[in-house]
Amino acid sequence: HLHHHRVSPTTSMSMSSSSSISSSSMMLTAVLAGVGVGCGMDSSARCEAATTGPDPNAPTSNKSTAQWRIYTDIGRGLVQEKKLDEARRYLERALVEAKKGFGEDDAHVAAALNNLAELNRIESKWSESERFFSESLEILRKAYGENHPAVGTALHNLAGCRLAQGDADGAYALYAKSLERKEATLGTNHPEYATTLYHMAEVLSRSDRKQDAVVLLERSIKVSEEIGAAHTDACLRRMKRLAQLLWDCENYEHAERIRRRILSTMEHMNGEEHVKIAGPCESLATVLMKLDQLDEAAALLERAARILSKVRGDGGALALASTRLNLADIAIRRDNVKEALKFARQALDVLAPSALDAIRRDALRVDIRVGVVTQYARAAALLAKLSPDAPSTSRHVDDARQYLDEIEKLVTTVSSSTPTRASLETIRVARRAL
């Protein structure tokens, strides 16, 4: 999901959850100068307001400005509670009061429009979201002129909306304009600049320009490192994305270097036995398997398995099943069929019921359902290769084929987006393995 920059440094929905009027008033110190630090596709990044002194030309408080603050705080709180219909009523009232209290072309009105755009984005109402983002952008242009960081952020918001609707060319053009504004007003060593580079890279990767995307992602990461943000979740997500793109481009040596950095950073941040270390261990191991460095790959997978075996719940079990399938692949390459069969059956014990559950549970995200079913198909194909005459083999293969057919029908009803096409290709690869 795309999580956009908030142009408003006032009471946007991305701010802290305080609902008091006093907290809203404190945020007004940044009203006419602020830019939210980018959320973008970094879905867990926090948006913060720029901090400057209060605007001497800001309207004095009146009944409408007070009501705008109250309605915005209530609406924001309702969004956090996922009461979106109620939130819409309050945010629409906030827009009316902002126009009354501050004037039609004031930045507070742009903030209110941006909040409504965000709400429509959450509900995937893209045409409405784009309309509100566009109106917010025009007000900011009138208020500040073209070269202002708030305008750069508004362009970024609009670009994300275009991308979500499949308009990659339009999104890229807007991100490029946003980057120009940010470079002119914030400089190139700024987290906002790094975020927009990251988004531009994502657009390129979705347009099958992965090599160009790699260049922009490396620039984004370099900026983050130069400003002291190398050990942040946002930078780690970008490094993981870079490693994945390098994998897709079959540049395994470079991918190995990036994944080693990721593992080292995660160990520094969390410790060597933290559950978050299992994923980076397995990711690095898969690259090393491509490079025929099987001993180190096996050691990393065994480390991941040891960590995951202590994790309770379905998530840990599914991750452990994936690790065991990779260990089975290494055992096959070492001609150890007995060990490979052991790992394959351990994985199937978890994946068989989980795949059936993934087919039945509509509440699960489509990408998760695809992942579980294709992993089950991979395990079934491995069993067929290692023990074709076993009584359970034909049952697992038949079930896997049936589940792949069902999940493919589900995916094709979703959309024609790039993530959907990637899911379909994953399904086809799994089917060929069977």
Q: Express each pLDDT in 215-225 by its tens digit.
A: 999 999 999 99
DSSP E strands, 355-395? none
C-alpha atoms less than 13 angstroms from C-alpha of 101 in its C-beta half-sphere: 22
DSSP E strands in 156-227: the ranges are: none
The mean pLDDT value for 11-26 works out to 32
Report the candidate in 152, 151, 149 with the shortest Cα–Cα distance to residue 139.
Answer: 151
Q: How far is CA 189 from CA 185, 195, 207, 219, in A?
A: 11, 11, 27, 11
Which sign does the torsion angle of CA 385, 389, 390, 396 carry?
positive
pLDDT at 23 exceeding the cut of 70: no
Cα–Cα distance for residue pair 342/320, rounded to 1 Å: 14
| 3-class DSSP assignment, residue 250 | coil
**Range with the lowest mean pLDDT among 21-30, 192-201, 378-387?**
21-30
Residue with tokens 């940044």: 30
Q: What is the pTM of this model?
A: 0.78
Mean pLDDT over the full length of the chain: 84
Say yes or no to pLDDT of 58 above 70. no
pLDDT in tens, 72-126: 999 999 999 999 999 999 999 999 999 999 999 999 999 999 999 999 999 999 9
Q: Which amino acid is at 331?
A: A
Average confidence (pLDDT) over 384-412? 92
Residue 262 has pLDDT above 60, yes or no: yes
Q: Please determine, for residue 253, whether its predicted confidence score (pLDDT) is greater than 90.
A: yes
User: What does the pLDDT read at residue 418?
Assistant: 55
User: What is the structure's pLDDT at 424?
Assistant: 84
Gap between the Cα atoms of 233 and 338, Å rounded: 41
pLDDT at 27: 23
Residue type at 325 in one-letter notation: L
59, pLDDT greater than 70: no
In angstroms, the CA 426 to CA 397 distance is 17
Higher pLDDT pick, 29 / 203: 203
What percent of the chain is modeled with pLDDT above 90? 71
pLDDT in tens, 362-396: 888 888 899 999 999 999 999 999 999 999 999 99
Instruction: Phi first, then psi: give them for residue 250, nearest 5 degrees.
Output: 60, 30
Quote the CA–CA distance of 147 and 316 in Å, as a whole number. 49
The predicted structure's pLDDT at residue 44: 29
DSSP single-letter state for residue 3:
-
Residues 237 and 45: their CA atoms lie apart, in Å, by 10
SS3 for 412?
A: helix
Dist. CA 106–CA 114, nearest whole Å: 13
Residue 59 near residue 106 (C-beta atoms within 8 A): yes
- Residue 409: HSE in the Cβ half-sphere, 13 Å Cα cutoff: 6
